[in-house]
């Protein structure tokens, strides 16, 4: 299968998944893809990390998570986009008037790879490996996948952009987690250990705190269509 065939498949999938005739779903996707809507989840994650770690470990985790975002965004936006110079669907002269565009959201010129997908999966993978709770892991995969899908729906990325961004995010998230473990091991930060208790995850995080993260995540899921509806009405 040559590059031309892969490109044609990518365009076909984009046009199959992009947009809808529903103003409601347009609004939902627009709200979901914004960073502001996820501030409560970020604050809850910070609370859980502070509560379950020493201050030194929390500051290290904060630095590592910032590194995840910086690396994924840097690789995707600073290196890949200008290097590959692949037009976003909304900027492609052939497709820009075919794809559905929500509220004239077109993004910058190039779209390979997706920074949204890279950032989302980078954070998701790191937190999954850190906390080690199955329900949270599945929920974070859902969160990152939906965040990535919104970019196809809004017409600013091809599915191929999303897949490449996802790969970057997974690799960076895993790599930064290994770096965190390495620093802790060599810095003799042994404040956490394996726990055998129904009240703790295998990495020592309180399950009750994991529930707080899940409640915040799914509470935000539930709030998004409400916010979308209200913004449409008013």
pLDDT of residue 104: 67
Q: Residue 109 and residue 106: Cα distance in Å, rounded?
A: 8
pLDDT of residue 147: 96
Quote the pLDDT of residue 200: 85
pLDDT at 23: 85
Nearest-angstrom CA–CA distance, 35 and 116: 10
CA 38 to CA 10: how far, in whole Å?
Answer: 29
Percent of the chain with pLDDT over 90: 68
pLDDT digits (tens, 9 = 90+) for 186-211: 876 555 555 556 688 888 899 999 99
Residues of the chain with confidence (pLDDT) below 70: 1, 103-107, 188-198, 233-234
* pTM for the whole structure: 0.92
Angle at 88 between CA 87 and CA 92, to 5 degrees: 60
């Amino acid at each position: 299968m040559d590059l031309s065939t892969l490109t044609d498949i990518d365009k076909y999938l984009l046009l199959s998944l992009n947009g809808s005739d529903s103003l409601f779903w347009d609004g939902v996707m627009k709200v979901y893809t914004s960073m502001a809507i996820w501030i409560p989840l970020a604050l809850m994650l910070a609370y859980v990390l502070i509560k379950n770690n020493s201050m030194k470990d929390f500051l290290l985790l904060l630095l590592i998570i910032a590194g995840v975002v910086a690396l994924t965004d840097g690789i995707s936006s600073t290196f890949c986009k200008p290097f590959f110079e692949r037009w976003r669907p909304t900027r492609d002269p052939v497709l820009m008037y075919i794809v559905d565009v929500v509220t004239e959201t077109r993004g910058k010129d190039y779209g390979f790879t997706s920074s949204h997908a890279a950032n989302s999966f980078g954070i998701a993978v790191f937190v999954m490996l850190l906390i080690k709770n199955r329900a949270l892991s599945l929920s974070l995969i859902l969160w990152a996948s939906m965040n990535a899908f919104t970019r196809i729906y809004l017409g600013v990325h091809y599915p191929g952009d999303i897949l490449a961004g996802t790969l970057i995010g997974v690799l960076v998230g895993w790599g930064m987690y290994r770096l965190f473990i390495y620093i802790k091991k060599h810095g003799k930060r042994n404040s956490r250990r394996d726990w055998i208790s129904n009240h703790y995850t295998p990495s020592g995080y309180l399950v009750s705190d994991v529930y707080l993260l899940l409640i915040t995540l799914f509470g935000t899921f539930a709030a998004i269509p409400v916010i979308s509806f209200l913004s449409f009405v008013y």
